[in-house]
Amino acid sequence: MNFTGTLIGAVLGMWLTHNMLGALIGGALGFMFDASRQQQQRRRAPVQGGYVAPLFALIGAVAKADGRVSEAEIAIAERLMARMGLDQDDRRRAIDAFNEGKQPEYNASEVIDELRQWVGHRRDHAFPVIDVIIETVLAEGASPSPEKMALLRQLAFALRVSDMELMALMAMKGYAWNGGAGANRGYGGGHGGGGYVPPQRNAQGPDPYTVLGIQRDADERAIKRAYRKLISEHHPDRLGDLPEDMRRRAESRASEINAAYERVKSERGFK
């Protein structure tokens, strides 16, 4: 542990009070500062080490969750590496992490926690991470398995993304919940007899109310409030130094949100 703050506090305490009691109080305050800083550094460790390894380890775990890793899921990981523009070292790190994540009995909770620490309170960073995992969950084009959806929901919960928000993200991919009226809105078909169904052919796109995370009977004020909240969270200009691939994902989501809002406005007849 670095005791720089403790030493500075003791010196300042002695200089200000000209007695040992002041030095002890200053040293104690400095020690508290040193301890807090060390704890924050430990929490930032996954950030400093990057999100590449935990992200690809989770992709591997999701791919293996239903018992086998398909060619489509491997292709998803390979395309993501290419789109992220990983250098040779990061690419090797990503491949190793993916292979580790797909091992039997792999504990995905640890890498989910690392991603949670990396995201911190940046919800605008949470959505691109979840979007990558959704892409893996839906790689095979069928209704996602309960095992894959369980990992996706675990990640969403860790990143403080609600079930309704996750449902909206799935809707942007064209997947609709078929739980039926009164069914429990569980995920992956494991609850209440429902589940997600593959994209349906619809020229108008996904249900705009689901994309906005609102009920069909929401009033104009609630609709506008939901839209402003969503567009602020998904706007690509807020993403900072994230890779270009994740910025493009944010741009795509922002476009879907805008399109949904325009459809609702047209349907309701307000500006």
What pLDDT is stored for residue 245 in this prediction? 64
What is the residue type of 183? A
Alpha-carbon gap, residue 271 to 268, rounded angstroms: 9
Alpha-carbon gap, residue 168 to 214, rounded angstroms: 9
Phi and psi angles of residue 214, each rounded to the nearest 5 degrees, phi first = -130, 160
Whether residue 49 is predicted with pLDDT greater than 60 in this model: the reply is no
DSSP 121-147: T-HHHHHHHHHHHHHHHTTTSSPPPHH
Cβ-based burial of 85 (10 A; exposed 0-12, middle 13-18, buried ≥19): exposed
| Confidence band, pLDDT 50/70/90 cuts, at residue 234 | low
Whether residue 38 is predicted with pLDDT greater than 70 in this model: the reply is no
230: closest CA among 204, 246, 208?
208
Torsion of CA 231, 236, 240, 245, to 10 degrees: 140
Q: Give the chain's mean pLDDT.
A: 77
> Which pair of tokens denotes residue 126?
């949470």
pLDDT digits (tens, 9 = 90+) for 1-33: 566 767 676 667 676 777 777 667 766 776 776
Lowest mean pLDDT among 45-54, 66-75, 143-152: 45-54
pLDDT digits (tens, 9 = 90+) for 87-139: 888 899 999 999 999 998 899 999 999 999 988 887 778 888 898 899 899 88
